[in-house]
Amino acid sequence: MSECIFCKIINKEIPSQVIFEDEHVLAFKDINPVAPVHLLVVPKKHRESLNDIDVTDEAWLGHILIVAKKLAQELGIADSGYRVVNNCGDDGGQVVKHLHFHVIGGQPLGVKIC
């Protein structure tokens, strides 16, 4: 996916503020945060959206949620609460066509949608 901005970030072609990286995922700070903590957790395997996953993706998808929880704990937002959001498709608000999850917290979030 040569034009995918997240693939370029994963491949270190574009700089980002990386918070976590392992063989399956990369987590970095959102460049337009909506809260004091706003991370993007991105699988290294390119999938455009949740509509493009299948059963072979189960392990790394579960891993993403474990990473989100771990980062929330490390950043001190786990106890007060945080949100994990995935936007799927145009009507779902997905801007970057590479599956990703927002981890948002550090302030009361109310009912606002990311």
Catalytic residue positions, numbered: 100
Q: Which residues, listed in sequence order, are joined to residue 83 by a DSSP beta bridge?
A: 104
Give the distance between the most distant pair of CA atoms in the chain.
39
Cα→Cα distances 75→21, 41, 70, 82, 112, Å: 15, 14, 9, 11, 21
